[in-house]
Chain A
Amino acid sequence: MLKHLATICLLSLVFFMPQVTLALAPADLSAIGDFRAFTHNIEGSPKKNNLNLKMQELEIAIQGYLNPYAKADVFVSSGGDNFEIEEASATILRGLPVNLNIKVGQYLVDFGKLNQGHPHGWSFVDRPISHRMLLGADGLKDVGIGVSTLLPIGVYSKLSLNVLSGRSLAWEDEERGTEKPMGVGRWSVFLPVGEHGNMDAGISGLYGTYLGKDAAGADGHNLKATMAVVDVKYKYHPSDYTSLVLQGEWLLNHRQLLRDSAVTSVSNGGGFAFVDYGFHKRFNAGMLIDYAPGVFDYQADDLYETGPEEDNNTPLGRFDNQNSTLSLTGFVGFGLVEETTLIRLYGRYMKFNIDDPQLLANPEMTSKKSQFLLGLQVIFTMGPHKPHEF
Chain B
Amino acid sequence: MSKYLVSIAFVLLLSTVALAKVAIVTSTTDLRSIAEMIGGDLVTVESLNKGASNPHSVETLPSYMFKVSKANLYCKIGLDLDSWAAPIIDGSRNGKLVVVDCSQNVPVLGKPTQKVDASMGDVHPLGNPHYWLDPNNGLIIADNILDGLITVDPANAETYRKNRDAFATKLSEKLTEWKGLAAKLQGTEIVTYHDSWPYFANAFGIKVDGFVEPRPGIEPTPSHTAEIIELVKKRQIKMICIEPYFSDRAPKTIARETGAQVVVLPPSVGGAPGANDYLSLFDTILKTLAGD
Interface residues of A (CB under 8 A from B): 71, 93-96, 99-101, 150, 155-156, 158, 190-192, 198, 200, 237, 239-241, 281-282, 337, 340, 382, 385, 387-390
A387 near B90: Cβ-Cβ < 8 Å: no
Report the minimum CB–CB distance from B272 to chain A (whole Å).
16
Interface string of B82-110 (1 = CB under 8 A from A): 01101100100111000000000000000
A94 near B93: Cβ-Cβ < 8 Å: yes
B66 CB contacts on chain A under 8 angstroms: 150, 155-156, 190
A281 CB contacts on chain B under 8 angstroms: 219, 247
B94 CB contacts on chain A under 8 angstroms: 94
Main SS of the interface on chain B?
A: loop
B65 CB contacts on chain A under 8 angstroms: 156
**Cα–Cα distance between A93 and B87 once the two chains are bound (Å):** 10
**Cα–Cα distance between A156 and B66 once the two chains are bound (Å):** 5
A239 near B62: Cβ-Cβ < 8 Å: no
- Give me 27 A-to-B residue pairs in the complex whose CB atoms sit less than 8 angstroms apart, sorted by A's number: A71-B90, A93-B90, A94-B90, A94-B93, A94-B95, A99-B69, A99-B93, A100-B93, A150-B93, A156-B62, A156-B65, A158-B62, A190-B61, A190-B62, A190-B66, A192-B63, A198-B61, A240-B54, A240-B245, A281-B219, A337-B217, A337-B219, A385-B122, A388-B57, A388-B58, A388-B60, A390-B62
B63 near A389: Cβ-Cβ < 8 Å: no
Contacts A94-B94, A156-B65, A388-B60 supplied; 10 other A-B pairs, CB < 8 Å: A93-B93, A95-B95, A99-B69, A99-B93, A190-B62, A192-B63, A241-B247, A337-B121, A382-B118, A385-B122
B20 CB–A CB distance under 8 Å = no
A200 near B62: Cβ-Cβ < 8 Å: yes
**Cα–Cα distance between A85 and B17 once the two chains are bound (Å):** 52
A158 CB contacts on chain B under 8 angstroms: 62
Closest 6 CB pairs of A and B: A190-B62, A156-B66, A156-B62, A94-B95, A99-B93, A95-B95
Given contacts A150-B69, A156-B63, contact A387 B247 (CB under 8 A): no
B60 CB contacts on chain A under 8 angstroms: 387-390
**Cα–Cα distance between A337 and B123 once the two chains are bound (Å):** 13
Report the minimum CB–CB distance from A271 to chain B (whole Å).
23
Report the minimum CB–CB distance from B39 to chain A (whole Å).
24
Report the minimum CB–CB distance from B254 to chain A (whole Å).
18
A240 near B57: Cβ-Cβ < 8 Å: yes
B257 CB–A CB distance under 8 Å = no
Interface residues of B (CB under 8 A from A): 53-54, 57-63, 65-66, 69, 83-84, 86-87, 90, 93-95, 118, 121-122, 217-219, 245, 247
**Cα–Cα distance between A190 and B218 once the two chains are bound (Å):** 32
**Cα–Cα distance between A240 and B270 once the two chains are bound (Å):** 17
**Cα–Cα distance between A382 and B59 once the two chains are bound (Å):** 21
Partner of A387, one of B62, B63, B83: B83
Report the minimum CB–CB distance from A40 to chain B (whole Å).
34
**Cα–Cα distance between A57 and B84 once the two chains are bound (Å):** 27
A190 CB contacts on chain B under 8 angstroms: 61-63, 66
B57 CB contacts on chain A under 8 angstroms: 240, 388
Residue of B nearest to A384 (CB): B83
**Cα–Cα distance between A158 and B94 once the two chains are bound (Å):** 15
**Cα–Cα distance between A348 and B122 once the two chains are bound (Å):** 35
A198 near B219: Cβ-Cβ < 8 Å: no
B62 CB contacts on chain A under 8 angstroms: 156, 158, 190, 200, 390
B61 CB contacts on chain A under 8 angstroms: 190, 192, 198, 390
Report the minimum CB–CB distance from B37 to chain A (whole Å).
26
**Cα–Cα distance between A353 and B94 once the two chains are bound (Å):** 51
**Cα–Cα distance between A71 and B89 once the two chains are bound (Å):** 13
**Cα–Cα distance between A19 and B87 once the two chains are bound (Å):** 25
A282 CB contacts on chain B under 8 angstroms: 219
Report the minimum CB–CB distance from B236 to chain A (whole Å).
31
B95 CB contacts on chain A under 8 angstroms: 94-96
A200 CB contacts on chain B under 8 angstroms: 62
Report the minimum CB–CB distance from B157 to chain A (whole Å).
26
A239 CB contacts on chain B under 8 angstroms: 53, 245
**Cα–Cα distance between A156 and B247 once the two chains are bound (Å):** 33
Given contacts A156-B65, A241-B247, contact A340 B93 (CB under 8 A): no
Residue of B nearest to A97 (CB): B95
Report the minimum CB–CB distance from B124 to chain A (whole Å).
12
Report the minimum CB–CB distance from A120 to chain B (whole Å).
18
